[in-house]
Structure 1
Amino acid sequence: MTYRVRSAEDRRREIQEHAARLGIDEAFVSNLVDSFYARVRAHPMLGPIFAAKIKDDWDPHLAKMKDFWSSVAMSTGRYSGKPFPAHMKLTGVTPAHFNIWLALFRLTLEDISENPETVDYFMERADRIAQNFQFGMFELQNLPTS
């Protein structure tokens, strides 16, 4: 097996070039976040969970999510927060909510993307994030402490 050593800057540039080839830019991310969270807000199961936390103050959340997805998709470094602790504070969230979230995210991507590879690119990342959150929120809670 051959390994290629790259600097962080080389890796960042490669990610950005790949994203650009897929048509992913700040405008795409902004449209994705706005379109997706419009669906989340209207969803009968997800909407109330977000409404309980965000209330009517959506602008800061949307801006944060645009920074987050810009960083995830294009390695821009715009997001430096810690999303897991915020999600741990949510009540009433189950693994089923993650499945709904992922399905809405995919549907939104399919609606706004001209390229199926763009959908796959985002979904690979979204699936990984969802798996990590579910592990932390549900699986770690059940591990023995001794």
Structure 2
Amino acid sequence: MKDIQNRKDIELLVDEFYKLVIKDELIGHLFTQIVKLDWNVHIPVMYDFWETSLLGKTKYKGNPMLRHIELNRKETLKPEHFDRWLSLWEQSIKSNFKGEKAGMAIQRGHQIAELMKFKIEKHS
């Protein structure tokens, strides 16, 4: 198994992750019913976000914290939502990649989840 190395790898990771998310009984509805994401818009943004975060390319411009604070106003995000997101994120990484960047992706996911929980609680 190889490490995350380029945009194609990021795209594979994000695509595999969202395949799991959409079907998930705990968090899937947040994406499909509460936010009703336009996947043609959302997925390329996620590619840019993770390419920026993991590969150092300056592609992403946005405020993910604000989006999640808005989501929390529609439906309260609970610790178990974050735990499931992290579980699916790690599963997507470990099923497809191994190496330094894969480890960094897991670590960044945990950092982002903790920061989001903190920011959401602060704005509740």
Q: TM-score under structure 1 normalisation?
A: 0.75
Q: Deviations over 1:15-37 (max 9, x none)?
A: xxxxxx94421000000011101
Match among 134, 138, 143 for residue 117 of structure 2: 134
Deviation at 1:116, TM superposition (A): 4.3
**AA matched with 2:90:** R
Partner of 1:43: 24
Tell me the secondary structure at the aligned position of residue 125 of structure 1.
helix
Unaligned ranges ≥5, structure 2 = none
Q: Contact 1:29/1:66 (CA < 8 Å) preserved in 2?
A: yes
| Runs of 4+ more than 4 Å apart | none
Partner of 2:67: 86
Unaligned ranges ≥5, structure 1 = 1-20
In structure 2, relative to structure 1, the CA distance for the partners of 1:136 and 1:99 (3 Å cut) is: same
- Larger Rg: 1 or 2? 1
Match among 87, 92, 112 for residue 96 of structure 2: 112
Q: TM-score under structure 2 normalisation?
A: 0.88
Match among 84, 98, 107 for residue 82 of structure 2: 98
**AA matched with 2:76:** G
**AA matched with 2:88:** L
Tell me the secondary structure at the aligned position of residue 62 of structure 2.
coil
Aligned length: 119
Distance in 1 of aligned mates of 2:3 and 2:91: 18
Q: Contact 1:110/1:116 (CA < 8 Å) preserved in 2?
A: no
Tell me the secondary structure at the aligned position of residue 61 of structure 2.
coil
